[in-house]
């Protein structure tokens, strides 16, 4: 049995980002840039008016109020054909190119229209006022986004502005989920006898979807070595990541470890010093990385948070796949220290400006019902005396 830190190190050492692919901008959200993107133009591409108003020579307004002759009307999308000389002004809209000769824009609120195509400027304006100069945001050829940038709405907007219609990104891995157990039946069926509805596959699919990955469900496989071997053979050939639920413990019908061995998969570790999730297994076969999760539903959820999510983040190009630790002040008492790090359902809240965490009543790793109010996992240390009520405790906020 190895520590969580050792398990994470092994997982991250054995996964790599996929080969970069060009992706249409409309599908790029959530991806990570695989190469820097340079702007193909200056932004703004011209001296741009930042206000609705009048383009003028600032020197003409020094002794305002002053009257100027209006020579033209410049809406957005239109380039002036003339030049503004002393004593002249051009009506201009936000986003339109400032005409040659003008070096400032007077806000329309600071003007008064007069008869005979004239305007009165009520207040002086300094040179450069309300003008965004060409290349102020970025110059042609400069890097707009670096390798490793995660593409959210803001970054998508930047890519559009610099002409990156098909940015090179790291692809999302092909992920399959296979659930094992004779007792499991589909959600649509009504359990009888010792049957239970299968939930782990749905929990894992929801977690994967939150990370931008649509998983392929391989359904339920019985606790049968031959059937399991057939399913695993196909799954490992067609998946970059295979997540198994159940069959990894020490029971007589926990067939995942021996079947993986028969199929010549290399088991890198089996058992990690955590609760829940201790029996977790990590293996590889050719290009496929295999996570064997315990069958208890909360165990599967926790192992995904601790090991699978960091692996997927590295595979899609995150440079820092492990989130920095967060802390909150503990309210209430800790459970018994058991020599393994515990990750227990908890509730984070704000109390008089202080972030506090309180453990939720819970009946163990088979109890999903008690997790309904959970918004964090509380990290209970493995060593006695390391945390007590009122101390800062590490927490893992849940992303929904």
CATH number of residue 386's parent domain: 2.40.340.10
Confidence of residue 390 (pLDDT cuts 50, 70, 90): confident
* Per-residue model confidence (pLDDT) at position 346: 94
Average pLDDT over every residue of 285-302: 95
Q: Do 102 and 57 share a structural domain?
A: yes
- The answer, yes or no, to whether residue 333 has pLDDT greater than 90, is no
- The answer, yes or no, to whether residue 292 has pLDDT greater than 60, is yes
What DSSP character marks residue 19? P
Q: Do 193 and 68 share a structural domain?
A: no
Element (H, E) at 132: strand 131-132
Structural contact between residues 283 and 268, judged by C-beta atoms closer than 8 angstroms:
yes
In this predicted structure, which of 67-71, 78-82, 106-110, 127-131 has the lowest mean pLDDT? Answer: 78-82
Q: Do 256 and 297 share a structural domain?
A: yes
Could you give the CA distance from residue 154 to residue 255 in angstroms, rounded to a whole number?
48
In this predicted structure, which of 224-238, 283-297, 374-388 has the lowest mean pLDDT? Answer: 374-388
Q: pLDDT by residue (tens digit) across 39-75?
A: 999 999 999 999 999 999 999 999 999 999 999 999 9
Average pLDDT over every residue of 121-127: 97
Of 291, 315, 339, which closes a domain? 315
Q: Do 301 and 249 share a structural domain?
A: yes
Question: Is residue 321, in this structure, part of any structural domain at all?
Answer: no
Q: Do 273 and 258 share a structural domain?
A: yes
State phi, psi for 17 to the nearest 5 degrees. -65, 150
Residue of 291, 367, 373, 371 whose CA lies nearest to 8: 291
The count of domains in the chain is 4
Question: Is residue 311, in this structure, part of any structural domain at all?
Answer: yes
* Per-residue model confidence (pLDDT) at position 388: 75
CA 55 to chain centroid: 43
Structural contact between residues 281 and 7, judged by C-beta atoms closer than 8 angstroms:
no
Q: In this prediction, what percent of the chain has a pLDDT beyond 70? A: 99
- The answer, yes or no, to whether residue 37 has pLDDT greater than 80, is yes
Rg of the chain's alpha carbons, rounded to an integer? 31
- The answer, yes or no, to whether residue 18 has pLDDT greater than 70, is yes
- The answer, yes or no, to whether residue 190 has pLDDT greater than 70, is yes
Q: Do 206 and 122 share a structural domain?
A: no
Quote the Cα angle for 335-336-340, to 5°: 105
Q: In this prediction, what percent of the chain has a pLDDT beyond 90? A: 89
Could you give the CA distance from residue 231 to residue 197 in angstroms, rounded to a whole number?
21
* Per-residue model confidence (pLDDT) at position 338: 86
Q: Do 180 and 305 share a structural domain?
A: yes
Q: Can you state the percent helix, strand and coil of the chain, rounding each to 5? A: 20, 30, 50
Element (H, E) at 72: strand 66-74
Q: Do 307 and 185 share a structural domain?
A: yes
* Per-residue model confidence (pLDDT) at position 4: 97
The residues, any chain, with a CB within 8 Å of residue 309's CB and separated by 6 or more, are 207, 211, 321
Confidence of residue 334 (pLDDT cuts 50, 70, 90): confident
Structural contact between residues 71 and 114, judged by C-beta atoms closer than 8 angstroms:
no
Confidence of residue 353 (pLDDT cuts 50, 70, 90): confident
Q: pLDDT by residue (tens digit) across 70-96?
A: 999 999 999 998 999 999 999 999 999
* Per-residue model confidence (pLDDT) at position 386: 65
Residue of 338, 319, 332, 318 whose CA lies nearest to 388: 332
Could you give the CA distance from residue 47 to residue 79 in angstroms, rounded to a whole number?
11
Element (H, E) at 282: strand 281-285
Q: Do 273 and 202 share a structural domain?
A: yes
- The answer, yes or no, to whether residue 400 has pLDDT greater than 60, is no
User: Mean of the per-residue pLDDT values for the chain?
Assistant: 95
Question: Is residue 121, in this structure, part of any structural domain at all?
Answer: yes
Could you give the CA distance from residue 394 to residue 382 in angstroms, rounded to a whole number?
13
Q: Do 345 and 272 share a structural domain?
A: no
Q: pLDDT by residue (tens digit) across 210-263?
A: 999 999 999 999 999 999 999 999 999 999 999 999 999 888 889 999 999 999
- Print the domain residue range for 204: 4-16+172-315
Q: What predicted TM-score, i.e. pTM, was given to this entire model?
A: 0.89
Q: Do 88 and 59 share a structural domain?
A: yes
Handedness of CA 32, 34, 40, 43 (dihedral sign): positive
- The answer, yes or no, to whether residue 182 has pLDDT greater than 60, is yes
- The answer, yes or no, to whether residue 203 has pLDDT greater than 80, is yes
* Per-residue model confidence (pLDDT) at position 142: 98
Residue 306, domain CATH: 3.40.980.10
* Per-residue model confidence (pLDDT) at position 398: 84
């Amino acid at each position: 049995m190895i520590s969580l830190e050792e398990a994470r190190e092994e997982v991250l050492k054995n996964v790599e980002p996929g080969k970069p692919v060009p992706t249409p901008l409309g599908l790029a959200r959530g991806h990570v840039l695989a190469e820097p993107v340079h702007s193909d133009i200056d932004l703004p591409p011209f001296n741009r008016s930042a206000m609705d108003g009048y383009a003028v020579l600032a020197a003409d307004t020094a002794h305002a109020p002053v009257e100027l002759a209006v020579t033209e009307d410049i809406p957005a999308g239109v380039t002036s054909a003339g030049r503004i000389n002393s004593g002249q002004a051009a009506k201009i809209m936000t986003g339109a190119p400032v005409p040659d000769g003008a070096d400032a824009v007077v806000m329309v609120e600071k003007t008064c229209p007069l008869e005979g195509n004239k305007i009165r400027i009520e207040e002086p304006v300094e040179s450069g006022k309300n003008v965004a100069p060409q290349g102020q945001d970025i110059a042609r050829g400069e890097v707009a986004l670096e390798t490793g940038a995660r593409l959210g709405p803001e970054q998508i907007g930047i890519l559009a502005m610099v002409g990156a219609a098909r940015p090179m990104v790291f692809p999302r891995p092909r992920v399959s989920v296979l659930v094992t157990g004779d007792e499991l039946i589909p959600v649509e069926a009504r359990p009888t006898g010792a049957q239970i509805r299968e939930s782990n596959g749905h929990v894992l699919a929801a977690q994967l979807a939150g990370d931008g990955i649509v998983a392929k469900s391989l359904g339920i496989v019985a606790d049968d070595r031959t059937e399991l071997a057939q399913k695993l053979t196909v799954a490992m050939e067609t998946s970059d990541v295979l997540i198994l639920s159940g069959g990894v413990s020490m029971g007589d019908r926990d067939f995942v470890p021996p079947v993986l061995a028969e199929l010549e998969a290399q088991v890198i570790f089996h058992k990690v010093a955590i609760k829940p999730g201790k029996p977790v297994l990590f293996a590889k076969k050719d290009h496929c990385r295999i996570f064997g999760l315990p069958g208890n539903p909360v165990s599967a959820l926790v192992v995904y948070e601790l090991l699978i999510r960091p692996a997927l983040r590295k595979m899609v190009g995150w440079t820092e796949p492990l989130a920095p630790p967060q802390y909150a002040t503990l309210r209430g008492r800790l459970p018994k220290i058991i020599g393994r790090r515990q990750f227990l359902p908890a509730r984070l809240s704000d109390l008089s400006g202080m972030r506090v965490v309180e453990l939720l009543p819970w009946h163990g790793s088979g109890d999903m019902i008690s997790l309904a109010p959970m918004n964090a996992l509380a990290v209970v240390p493995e060593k006695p005396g390391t945390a007590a009520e009122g101390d800062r405790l590490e927490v893992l906020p849940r992303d929904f």
